Structure formats: structure tokens, C-alpha cells
Structure 1
Amino acid sequence: MKYLKKENALEKRIRLDEKIIRAIENLALKKGESFSLIVNKILEEYLKNNEIFPSLNEFYAEEPNLKFDFENKIKIFENDFLTVDLSPWRGKINLIVTSPPYNVGIDYNSHDDSSSYEDYLEFSRKWLTKAYDLLADDGRMCLNIPLDKNKNGLRSVYADIVTIAKEVGFKYQSTIIWNEQNISRRTAWGSWLSASAPYVIAPVETIVLLYKHQWKRKSKGTSTIEKEQFIEWTNGVWTFNGENRKKIGHPAPFPVELPRRCIKLFSFEEDTVLDPFLGSGSTLIAALEEGRQGIGVEIDSSYVELAIKRIMENFKKQIEFQI
């Protein structure tokens, strides 16, 4: 007798009728997918049709408010990711690359980055639920989050958000450590040379690799990554500097190098890449450079304008370089 094993935090054993097992095996053989994946899909479809799953309607309630459409390749929506209507892309996004707000009191203009930790985790659960819904079955996500935070109390951000992501339905693949070589303070000077209360501060962030149903892509496409890059970037420690916030004009920009590596390593040409928290536009700059379709959502109008400006300036530089 076969059993279904769920790959999330909970594991369940389910006894199936022999006739059902044979039918599922035949379906799995035809589709070239695993037995457990077929069972999950059947159950998800049944639960969805019978409205047993919580309704996702609230996540698609607001008109898109398209602010930028570059040659039908790069689109920017000025809206809240939690409510913007992205229905045309449900189940079609190949890769999500994003760095959500960290909840450490950064002044983002239109986003409260100093809510309670409980509210922050609930916010994370909501946006992760929508991101999961938008991904294709073989879609991936590169999630840039801190290891922890110490503002208003020490919190294990990485562990908590990865746990929530798995509860939402994501499967865990791996974690890249981004050594951005940036540290603001060394220790609590009141405990200098003492075991009284020293602080351990890691000058790194994480890029969590998650996926929806299966990690291996169903169909092959054209990669843009070079051999040397593949060898270097599949090493799980990436070392490059963070971005200068004053130079960019955003309180927490990440360098184009981060999404560029994620896009080249985890997607094919013409794939659709989404950044739910676009900020200064780094993800879409990299998407355009690498021949991907790009979608960005940003709630703040000033950051939307900043992203558009950076994308167009970068595109002009590309043209000039080619000439």
C-alpha cells in the first residue's frame, strides 16, 4: 500500500483505495510527474472547487493602476501587492525576486516599517500566500531577508519567515548567504572585554530559495548564464557590496547584482519575473538586461518614478554600449 507524504512541516500518512492508487499512477505516468505531486494537485483542485480553501478574492480586489509599460516587456503597477489585481498572471510567474520590508523602522514613505512583530509576521503570511498563488507549478522564489533583527527586541526573522512560507505551501530548496560586508556596530561597549552582554552581529543577509510544487523546470529554455558564473554562484556564499542609499535615492535599495544573479541562475530567457516590493527597480533592471519579462509592484509613487527613471537610464546605457 502506498502512502502520501507531504513535504511541509507536517507529515501525514493516508491510506488509499487500490483502485485510486492505480488511477493516480497512470495519471502520474502520463504527465511525467511524481505520485505525491499528482495527489496534491487533485486535492488542491477539489478543495478550491468546493471553496474549502480560504478565498483569495481579497488579494485581487484593486484595479492594477499600470504606471509603466516598456515594449510590453516591463510593467510597473503603483499599488499595494496585497490587493492589486494580477489575475492574468495567476499560476504563470516563473520567478519571484524580492526583498520585502524588514520592519526595522526604515522610512519607506508609504509603508509602516515599525509595526509589532506579530503584525509583521501576519503581513508576511498574507503576501507569501499571494506570491504562492501567482507562481507557476515549477516557479521559484528568491527571498532576500535578514538573519535576525535587534530593533525593539531580538527576533529570529529568517527562521520565522521560512516557517511561515512552508506553512503557506512553499517548499524549501536552499539558502544563499549574502556577505554584503556592512556592519554598523561591533558590540555593546558597556560589556567591553567582558562576558556580561556582548552582541554577535553577522554582517550578512540571506537569500532563501523556495519553490511551489517542483524544483526542476518542466520544460527547458535558453539560459544566459556563463560557465564561470554558474560555478561561482552555485557556491552558497555570495560576496559583493550593498547599494548606496544616498546615491540611489531609496532608504533600502539592493544592488542590481543580486537580482541579476538570481535571474540568470534560476530562470530562462522570456520567463516572467515578479518583484512584489519593487522599490528602486533593481529587479526589473536586471530582468530587462537578461531578456526576461518583468513585473513590479510598488505602493509608493515616488519610488515608482525612481524605478522608471533608473530602468530607462540603464536601457539607454545598454544601447550606447552596443553602438
Structure 2
Amino acid sequence: MQPYFETAEPECRLYLADVLAADFIAPESVDLIVTSPPYNVEVVYGTHRDDLNYAEYLEFCEAWLQRCYQWLKPDGRFCLNIPLDKNRGGQQSVGADLTTLAKRIGFQYHSTIIWNEGNISRRTAWGSWRSASAPYVIAPVELIVVLYKQEWKKSSGTRQSDITQEEFIEWTNGLWTFNGESKKRVGHPAPFPLELPKRCIKLFSYVNDLVLDPFAGSGTTLLAAVMHQRRAIGIEIEPTYCELARERILEYLRSRQYTLQIGEEKEVYGELISWR
């Protein structure tokens, strides 16, 4: 399958495809997966349904988690950004349920990072206001569940780390505090901030490792990978978001004054790039 968009150096490929039908990634080839799947909270993504009943949602998650398990190297890591819980359509322990699913598939559990997004001011549901009748308790945090395939100690790769001492000390503390991303600024209904994949990539992978995001969205994980000298593969089912991801990566590469190649014509803008 031809990529929707690709760069040669740094190597980055984005595919317009359904993660469940993706057959273009070699088994046990991926060093790190960083992703945030649909939360099933009725977000309008385009053609994708984000309003499954909870049993259907878990079935969908099990299917794509199985694909991720196949793609990871034996010493590969998986950073899964998911909600702690949800209350639309009934209270559900999403974080616990998806972690249990992943372990059932074969993933090993390492740790959970709490991302304090600090968005409590956006809440609109209180349940029974100022009454013990049926109040809602909502934590303004999300989870980054850190999993691995077989071995936690990383034996493959370049062994070249680019994380600073200050970053390592701060990021190995399992409480991360930084703001979320603006939907309006990015142009995607549920973006995560660049800071999230940047930290995961620098903490859990080596330079030139292969990073995968099976729900690439606006391309934030791919952009972070390119910025930090990792190879990257993204899968995104919506053409609009594939184009958005392409534009964001191109903008970064132009800012780095690489060489853009479109067909046979070259201009001093970006990296070696092709797209459909």
C-alpha cells in the first residue's frame, strides 16, 4: 500500500487506512507505540463512529490492541493515552478496562503516568447539585498506561538517548502536569499536545527507533518523532486529518530549511517528501 505521505530523511510515513485492515507494517518491527484512541464519547471525527455501546467499544479496542501487539518488537514499549473513566452512557472505568484487555492479549504492565491536564473548569456535569442524592466525581486527569511486549529492558536500537538529566528526573516522576491542546488551533476535535508524545518518545526510545501511532489524527506523534530523530509510521482513517498531519509536518520541515521534492522539482523548503 502506498503511503498518503512520506519523508525520506527523517523517515516518516502516514497511511490513509483503517488500523484493523492495515497490512503494511512488518510483525515485530516497531520500537514504541504512542497513541490516543477514540474515547467513545460522541466526538464527531467524520466517518468514524464514536458512540458505540461499551461492549462494542471494548471489542473494537481488543481488535486494534491485538494488531499493536503483533507489530511491537519483543522489547517494544507502548504508551497508551486513555481516560481514567467516562460518564457518558453510564459510568465506566475505561483506564482499568483497557489495561485489563491489553494484559489479556499479552502485554506486560509497567506503570501508569497521570497526566494532570488541569481542565476542571470545563466540566459541565455535576450530577445532583449540592446534594448527596447522585453527585458526580470527576478527576481532571488522563492516563498514560506504559506497557511492553516481553522484555522491559531494551536491547535493540542505537542505544543513543537524547534525554537531558533534568528531563529524566522530571519525567520519571509519574505525575505530569501540562496543558491540553486547543481544538481550534490544531483543527482536530480531540488533539493531544506535542508535549505528551515528546516525553514518551525521549524517555522510552532511542534515536532512530521506529515509532508508531495507529490513530495518527492531526499527526502530533509523527511530528514529535520527526523533531527528535525517530522514524515514524502513522495510520489515520480520515482523509481530512491525513492532510492536516501532512501540512503540520511540512510546516516543521520548511522551518528547518530542508529540501522539498515534489515529483522532479526541488525547492528549498523541506525534506524529501511525496504524497498522493
Q: TM-score, normalised by structure 1?
A: 0.77
> Residue 128 in 1 paired to residue 55 in 2?
no
Code of the aligned partner of 2:220: S
Match of 1:202 in 2: 139
Match of 2:248 in 1: 310
Match of 2:116 in 1: 179
Change in CA separation of 1:189 and 1:167 when aligned onto 2, cut-off 3 Å: closer
CA contact (8 A) 1:187 1:200 kept: no
User: Please, which of 141, 151, 154 is the counterpart of residue 214 of structure 1?
Assistant: 151
User: Partner of 1:75: helix, strand, or coil?
Assistant: strand
Match of 1:236 in 2: 174
Report 1 or 2 for greater relative contact order, CA contacts < 8 Å, sequence distance ≥ 6.
2
Match of 1:93 in 2: 30
Change in CA separation of 1:105 and 1:187 when aligned onto 2, cut-off 3 Å: closer
User: Partner of 1:205: helix, strand, or coil?
Assistant: strand
Match of 1:279 in 2: 217
How far apart, CA to CA, are the structure 2 residues paired with 1:98 and 1:206? 12
Match of 2:184 in 1: 246
User: Partner of 1:130: helix, strand, or coil?
Assistant: helix
Code of the aligned partner of 1:160: D
Q: TM-score, normalised by structure 2?
A: 0.89
1 or 2, which has the higher strand percentage?
Answer: 2
Larger Rg: 1
> Residue 140 in 1 paired to residue 101 in 2?
no
Q: How many residues align?
A: 255
Unaligned 5+ segments in structure 1 are: 1-63
CA contact (8 A) 1:146 1:205 kept: yes
Unaligned 5+ segments in structure 2 are: 259-276
Shift of 1:273: 0.2
Shift of 1:190: 3.9
CA contact (8 A) 1:99 1:145 kept: yes
Match of 2:55 in 1: 118
How far apart, CA to CA, are the structure 1 residues paired with 2:182 and 2:218? 12
Code of the aligned partner of 1:272: L
Match of 2:94 in 1: 157
How far apart, CA to CA, are the structure 2 residues paired with 1:306 and 1:80? 17
Shift of 1:225: 0.4
CA contact (8 A) 1:176 1:237 kept: yes
Change in CA separation of 1:168 and 1:189 when aligned onto 2, cut-off 3 Å: closer
How far apart, CA to CA, are the structure 1 residues paired with 2:194 and 2:2? 25
Change in CA separation of 1:174 and 1:189 when aligned onto 2, cut-off 3 Å: closer
Code of the aligned partner of 1:268: Y
Give 4+ residue runs of structure 1 displaced > 4 Å after superposition: none
1 or 2, which has the higher helix percentage?
Answer: 1
> Residue 262 in 1 paired to residue 200 in 2?
yes
Shift of 1:187: 5.5
How far apart, CA to CA, are the structure 2 residues paired with 1:151 and 1:293? 37
Deviations 1:142-197 (A, max 9, x none): 000000000011101001100000000000000000001112226626431x3222
CA contact (8 A) 1:148 1:154 kept: yes
Fraction of identical pairs, as percent? 54
CA contact (8 A) 1:179 1:205 kept: yes
How far apart, CA to CA, are the structure 2 residues paired with 1:114 and 1:166? 25
How far apart, CA to CA, are the structure 2 residues paired with 1:114 and 1:206? 21
Mapping of residues 33-72 of structure 1, within 5 Å: 64-71=1-8
